[in-house]
Structure formats: structure tokens, C-alpha cells
Chains A and B, each alone.
Chain A
Amino acid sequence: MSATKPIQRCNDFVIKFANVNGSGSASANELFARAVLRMGVPVAPRNIFPSNIQGLPTWYEMRVSAAGWLGRRGGCDLMVAMNPQTWDRDIAEIESGGYLFYDSTKALPRSKFRDDITVLGIPLTEICNREYSDARQRQLFKNIMYVGALTALLDMEFDPVEKLITDQFRGKDKLIAANINALKLGYAHAKEHLPCPIGLRVARSDGVGDKIFVNGNDAAGLGAVYGGATVAAWYPITPSTSVIESFSAYCRKYRTDPDNGSARYAIVQAEDELASIGMVIGASWNGARAFTATSGPGISLMQEFFGLAYFAEIPAVIFDVQRGGPSTGMPTRTQQSDLISCAYASHGDTRHVLLFPEGPYECFTLGAQAFDLADRLQTPVFVMLDLDIGMNDSLSQPFDWDDQRRYDRGKVMSEEELEAGKDFGRYLDIDGDGIAYRTIPGTHPTKGAYFTRGTTRNAYAKYSEAGADYVYNMERLRRKFATAKKLVPAPVLRRAAAPTRFGALYYGSTGPSMDEAVASLEARGIHLDTLRLRSFPFADEVLDFVSEHDFVFVVEQNESAQMRTLLINEGELDPKRLIRVLHYDGTPITARFIESRIADALSERKVSPIRKQVAS
């Protein structure tokens, strides 16, 4: 066999399942992930799936990490190769010294394997054909059987897996028995015929604690419920659809009137994205909290309406679950590539507020906060998720809520204030923050009505093409954006263990991989201060962070360095001090990728310090 020593690791490895989509593998793989969690070992699974319902390759990659690293690490220590279509590249991906698990029913030539890995074969198809007569059962139980085999190979406890199956099929006893039987078949076969345990092991740990296991879209929908949204209008688009499904499910649970079953919310599936955002704007104009969820193509379609909401100053919340662009791009792959099209959405001079949640917890908190910000600032607020955050279950800090918190509805003039004769200028800045009072339709019989329009107007909402009125308005909008800077969530600073001239900026789903990369670099003696951006516009401390460091890496998941562009543009920063670290192949960024790019860039720069070039 191999001269390479097999990898020996406990609670710290990557296992990847290569499957065919529509074969029922997803639930078996998730079962396995949950079994590891039940043993107290943190797990970060990621679905890498095609834009297709049945028959194309799909992967499920699991990071097992007692240290709690939840990003992708990169590489694969154990490949469960169940898809002949992708066999060659799956085998090639295994780390040297890694392991291959496969269905050995059909003999494969030696050339199909590698010498530097441990090969573990079980004739899954053969066993299934022997045990089951139904074709669908043969397929489904093959999946459960490999879960059983892995349980033995990785030295896992059998009981938690068995209990998970019992929980999952509660009330369907026949299914429970059949699934547990398949699980046992796989387990027993591995024990008898394979060298159990292999070098990779899962041992009971206490790394999970009170953490919850949930995906970002689910959390965002919950955030919209807690944020007080009552109107949702949407159009189905991957990968955002489940935000609305979540909102809908939580509304049914929490917002159904106990007396008569009526709904304290309205959800409309619109005919397209234009109508979705139009409904959101109409509802918000009329004083309800409203939102839509979409992805890149929807953002493109909504552009004209974003400009209207910006200029007429109407709140709106948009959850943009980003996917690979441009155009239809990679609908089921992840990217952070809608920053520019959201930050400056629509024609004319516009700027929008963006929030960047890192994972499910912030999808919830920033999702709820977005509604306060939209009302306070009377403008669209974009919550920038991506497919990786949105659709993958992740271990997360549990959700919390302060019951003393009240919604901030912003500057809304009441009937009493109007009656008392308070001056109402819809676009009049009375206190210098750039935000004017608005009235909700129907407030007062004779006072407070105004005409909302996308055309220019004076401070009292009367149509005007006078240059001075236009300039007053644009300058006020600029002041409002400066006010936004003080209201949006602050960035998160992490100081390196030792003083350093180097920094890194990152945001959103890059966070978990970044954490691991920074720790690895630190272990190598490379120190980096980091700042995780949580919003646009940038708080002053973001620009201060850049000026404190000689070079700042800007780590992001798009091809054109969109965050870096925003930093340079808004902060008037020297581009040479902002070094691109870009990952954009549609898969989530890995810790190894970040680590190697930063280490390489720093070693290059030590040879030829850029500080001098900048100065010259």
C-alpha cells in the first residue's frame, strides 16, 4: 500500500460526501452532521449543489472542529465518493494520507485509485439489493448504510445516531425500524471488514454548548418577525426563497390571532421582483414595516424602485441573498458580488445603507435592526446575506431579544402634533440630521397630506425644478447619509497578539474562515489586526483602521474587489494600501486560501517594501 502515513486526527478534519442530487443523500448527510453535534463536537456542513432537481453532482462538505472553526478549511481528509460522474476529481481532491470511502460493489481498476490514500470499500449496492426489493428503498438505505459505516470507521457512539433517527421519524415506527436496520447493517459490515477505527476519529467533547444549529435565511425571516415586519412581497429566486418561507412559518406560529385565527401579517407572492419592491414601498409609505427577499437578478430588476424609495425617502428592507453573478451566473453558488449594485443602486446620485451579517445570529439581529434603520433613515436598507450564510445550517450563538426594546419608527408626525400646528415640511431638515418628518396617510383631515413623487420638489413637497431646491435636497440627503454612519452597526475590531503594521478587512460569510486563517497565521508568527465590517456607510473607525496600518488586506468573495472599491471611493483612500484577497469560484472561501494569500503577499512585500513606493 502507501508509503504516506495515514492522517491521524481527532475532532479536527474535513469529510466530504460526493452524491447525485435527488438521491436522498441530503437527509442522510445531515443526519451524520447532527450525530457529530450530538457528541458535542462542532460541525460546519456546507451544501455545494447544482441548479437542478435531480441527477447532477452535489457535495456535502463537513468541517469537524473541536476548536470551533466554522469556516471552510479547504482540502478533504475523508471522501465519501458516491457519484461515479465526479469520481476522478473527487479522488484527486483527497489530501495525501487521507481516506476514501466508496461503494465497492463494482470492481474498479487500480488506476482509479491513489497510492497515498487509504481505500475503504463496502459493497453498498450489493448489500442493499440483497436486503431490499423496492428500488427507492435500495437507494435511500444505501445512504443510511454509509452513515452506519462511518459511525464505526470514525469510532463514533452508535446511540446518538440511532436516537436521531427515532426523533426524525417519530410516529412512523416502520420507518424507524427500517432505517435503524440499515444503519446497523453498515455499522456491522464496517466493523467486520474494515480497519475500525481509522486515523480520523470523533470523540465526545463539550464544544457545542448552548449553540443552536440554524441557517441564515431562517434567522433572517425570524429577524423580520421580531423586527415588526407586517408586509412581505416577494418573487421566488434561489437562494433567497427560504427567507420568505421562514417568515411565513414564524408568522403562522407567532402572529396568528389567538381569538379568530386571523393573520397579523400579509405575504404576497408577486408577479416579479418589480412588483415585489413596489408593494414593499407602497406598504412602507403607508406606515407598515415591509420587506422583500431576493438575489442578484432581482436587485437588477428593482433598480428604478430603489431610486424612487431613496429620493422620495420611503423606508424599505431588502434581504439580498447573494449568489454568483453576473446575469444568471451561478444560481446555486455563493458570492459577495452585489455590493456595488446595491450601494449605488439606481440612476442618478444615490447611496444606500448596507448591512453585512456574518452568520445566523447576525441575520437575526441585523435583520430586525434593519427595520429600525429604514424607518429612522426613511430609506432602503439592504441586508447582504449570501448563499453560504443563507442556505447552510451553521452553529450559532443562540438568539436573544431585549423585551424592553421598542421599535424606532423614526420621525413620524402625529395627528396631535399636526393639530397643535407644528410646521410640517416633508423634506424640511429642522435639526440638521438630514432627516425630515413624514406623515402616514390618513393621519389628519386637513393637515399633513402631501404628494409623494420621484420628481424634484421643495422642502414642503411641492413640485419644483428650481436649482436651489434641488441642491438643498441633495445636500440634505448627503447629511442624512452622514447620520446613517452613526446609526449603523459598528465594525468588530480584533487586535493581533503583537503590534503589527498589517491589517485585514473582511465581512459577511468570510468571517468564520478568516478567524481560522488569522489564528493559523498568528501561530506562524504573522500578526494581523482585523476589522470585520458590518455596514455601509463606513464608520470613521473603518477609515482610521486603514490609516493606522501600512497595508490592509481586503478579503472578499467577488472578482472585482467591490468592498475595496467602496472603501477607496468613500474614504478617498490610497488604493496601494489596500491589498486584494479575492475568492470567487462560487464555493465558500477557505481558511487555507486566505492564509496562503496573505502569507505570500507579506513575504513578497518584505522583499520589496511597498511603503517606499507609496511614499515616492
Chain B
Amino acid sequence: MTYLSKPKLLRPDTPKNALGYTRRDYEGAISTLCAGCGHDSISAAIVQACFDLDIEPHKVAKLSGIGCSSKTPDYFLGNSHGFNSVHGRMPSVLTGAALANRDLIYLGVSGDGDSASIGIGQFAHAMRRGVNMTYIVENNGVYGLTKGQFSATTDKGSKSKRGVVNNDSPIDLVALALQLGASYVARSFSGDKEQLIPLIKGALHHRGPAFIDVISPCVTFNNHPGSTKSYDYVREHNEAVNRLDVILPRDPIGASYAPGSLRRIVQHDGSVLHLRKLGEDYDPSDRIGAMNHIQERHALGEIVTGLLFVDASAEDLHRHLNTVGKPLNQLRDAYLCPGSKALEALNASLR
């Protein structure tokens, strides 16, 4: 029923952001996912983050692959152009879109099947290429639309609803993203919007590949005892290394934190990431340290969440290619076509 749109009735006291938009202006069609699906919470977090950041909805392009997670871009940012592409290939479509217009915000939404199985190649290469994007994987460890098969992120030993045990080693997309050069890497839990919303905000203000792995339990096929991606399991094994607040340049100086517990990171656009430390020695600017920490905790059965790594001075694909400041899709004929004179000279050189 995704063709149903929500009624646009608003109460007069509905809050508006600095652009005059209400939260409703950032919503999309009614979700057709199962009631209680973690993915809907992630959509809500995206809506909240964009509303809070005063992002013009039409300046966001949202792209996805195939699967339950990839259906969700229809359910948020209804005034943004969306592209539900083919299975596992969102990263390349997003890369092309980003090349065409460097001024939009690119939000890629994918799932564990879409990114870790069929699309692991494209996932990897988009990260290493430095595409300026926010890439969210809604990770439920299961194939939902085809009714409950294991995915590549399913933990070894995890049990399916029918009691089958997964014997294959899991792929950790966070570890991969770190290794491949993503410059903003986070993990969160769909049930923890306090943590998730700021992580999305920080990612949207990051220049370069920002990756967020969001554990998002599948209420229908992967929320039973024996699953390591159920609500209960994740709540019990979640080890948050920090809590993030994103402060924009225009925001007033907010609450002060106890000295020593706060880390301040300024991104390229002047936005400031305030990280309240929870883990004692965790350093989010240390890529190798982050990789070690995640692996060590994983061995203990813990899921590390928070902003795991950020390189605030990272460069992106457009920098690498030295493309013009004006979006390529706005360059007109005169800037693109060398004309007949150039051709005459070229002809002469080919004789």
C-alpha cells in the first residue's frame, strides 16, 4: 500500500524548523513493513535528523538496492528524489549520481543481504573510492522478503526461527568499512534513537564516505531466542563507546560537559561533533585502534556501538577527480562542447 500518502492535516502548533518545514514535510508514504520492524525506527530517525538539521528535503537524494531495508526510502523524505535500484548495486548508482551533482546530499540505504552478500563488491569499492555519502545498512541478519534465510552478517552459531544453526562466518561491515577507508564509521541499534539520530546527523554533515551499521531486529524472522540480532540480545550485549551530539555552527553553545569526558571534533563544514566518552580509552580518530577494539569485543560476544571512527579532514571523490565546483549536470553546452574551430585544428593534426 505504498501508494497511499499520509493525510496532510497539521495542528497550528506543530513545530517548524528554521526553514519553516514541519516534521511531516520530511516523512514519506506509509510503511508497508511488518509492525514493530526496526527499519521503521531508522526511517523515523532519518526524518528527525533531517528536520533537526534544517536540510531542504529536495536537496537529498535517497538511493537503495533491493530488500526490506531498500523499500524504506519510500517511507521517509517524500519531497526528495528516490531511487530503488537493483539488488546490491545501490553504491554504483549513488556514485554516479554523486558525480553528476556534487551539491546534493546522498543517502544510501541498504540491508545486510544487499550490502554484505550480493553487493559486497560495490559496498567495498564505494568506500575505498571516497564517495561523499551517508550509507546506512539496516542490519537484521536475515532475508526478510524471501522469508527468513540467513544473511552474510548472521553470526556463527546464531539460530534461525526454524532452529537451523548458521555455520558460516559472519561479515562485519563496520570492520570492512574501517579497513577500506571509510572516513566516518558508526554502529547503532534501531531501538536506541537517542544514539542513532545524532550519528545520522554527524554522517550527513561529514564529507566523504560515512557508514552506519544499524542493528535492526527483524520482528518476524529474527527476533527469537538463539538469534544474535534480536531486540533482547542486542540490548543485553550493546557496549556503547560514546554518545554523540552534533552542534552546527549556527547553534548556541549548549550544555557544558565534565572536562575530560568530552571530545570535540570539527568537521569540514564547521559542524562540531561532541563525543561524550563512555569507553575509558576509546579514541575515535584511531582507525587501527577502532578495528582492534571491535574485534576484541566481538570475541567477547559484545556489540560495540557509537561513533567508532571519524576523520574530519577526509577528502572525497570529487576532490580526487578535481571536478569543477559547479555540478556537472548544470554545465551548459558552451562549457562542454569545444565547437567547430577546435575540430578544424584537430582535423589538421590528423592529416
Which A residues form the contact surface with B (CB < 8 A)? 210-214, 222, 225-226, 228, 230-231, 233, 250, 254-255, 257, 261-268, 270-272, 274-288, 290, 304-305, 308, 398-403, 406-407, 439-446, 448-455, 458, 462-464
- Closest CB in chain A relative to B143 CB, distance in Å: 18
Nearest CB to that of B95 among chain A residues? Answer: A279
Residues of B within 8 A of A (CB): 2-3, 25, 56-59, 61, 63, 73-74, 78-86, 89, 91-101, 103-104, 121-122, 124-125, 129, 317-318, 321-325, 328-331, 333, 335-340, 342-343, 346-347, 350-351
Q: Cα distance A294–B335 when bound, in Å? A: 27
Query: B59 — nearest CB in chain A belongs to which residue?
Result: A442
Determine if A450 and B81 form an interchain contact, defined as CB atoms under 8 angstroms apart.
yes
CA distance A264 to B100 in the complex (A): 11
Residues of A within 8 A of B342 (CB): 254
Rounded to whole angstroms, the CA-CA distance of A257 and B322 in the bound complex is 10
The residues of A that contact B343 with a CB separation of less than 8 Å are 226, 399-401
| Contacts known (A231-B328, A285-B97); A275 close to B336, Cβ less than 8 A | no
Q: What 8 A-B pairs come out closest when comparing CB atoms?
A: A282-B96, A278-B92, A279-B96, A288-B100, A441-B81, A287-B329, A282-B93, A462-B3
Known: A282-B97, A287-B329. 7 other contacts (CB 8 A): A233-B92, A264-B335, A275-B91, A282-B96, A282-B100, A441-B81, A451-B81
Q: Which of A270, A285, A400, A462 contacts B83 (CB 8 A)?
A: A285
* Cα distance A284–B96 in the bound complex, in angstroms: 8
| A230–B329 CB distance below 8 A | yes
A442 touches B58 (CB 8 A): yes
A287 adjacent to B82 (CB under 8 Å)? no
Nearest Cβ in chain A — how far from B72, in angstroms? 11
Given contacts A231-B328, A442-B58, A449-B79, contact A275 B125 (CB under 8 A): yes
Q: A254-B338, A275-B125, A403-B339 are in contact. Are A283 and B97 (CB under 8 A)?
A: yes
| Contact yes or no, A266 B328, CB < 8 A | yes
- For B80, what are the chain A residues with a Cβ–Cβ distance below 8 Å? 441, 449
How close is A296's CB to chain B, nearest CB, in angstroms?
Answer: 21
Shortest Cβ distance from residue B78 to the other chain A in the assembled complex, whole angstroms: 7
Q: Chain B residues near A266 (CB, 8 Å)?
A: 99, 318, 321, 323, 328
Residue from B73, B78, B317, B324 with most neighbouring chain A CB atoms (10 Å): B324
Residues of chain B within 8 A (CB-CB) of A255 are 336, 338
Task: Tell which of A212, A304, A308, A451 has the most Cβ of chain B within 10 Å.
Answer: A451
Beyond A282-B100, A452-B84, A458-B3, whether A264 also contacts B333 by CB under 8 A is no
Q: Is the CB of B79 within 8 A of A445?
A: yes
| Pair A452/B89 contact, Cβ less than 8 Å | no
Q: Find out whether the CB atom of B56 lies under 8 angstroms from the CB atom of A445.
A: yes
Contacts A271-B121, A278-B93, A445-B57; is A287 near B101 (CB within 8 Å)? yes
Q: Smallest distance from the beta carbon of A157 to chain B beta carbons, Å? A: 18
Do A308 and B85 have beta carbons less than 8 Å apart? yes
CA distance A454 to B321 in the complex (A): 31
Q: In the assembly, what is the distance between CA of A275 and CA of B89, in Å?
A: 7
Whether B340 and A400, one on each chain, are in contact in the complex, defined by CB atoms closer than 8 angstroms, is: yes
Q: Judge whether B336 and A230 touch: CB under 8 Å.
A: yes
Report how far A274 CA is from B92 CA in the complex, Å. Answer: 8
Q: Which of B57, B85, B95, B321 contacts A263 (CB 8 A)?
A: B321
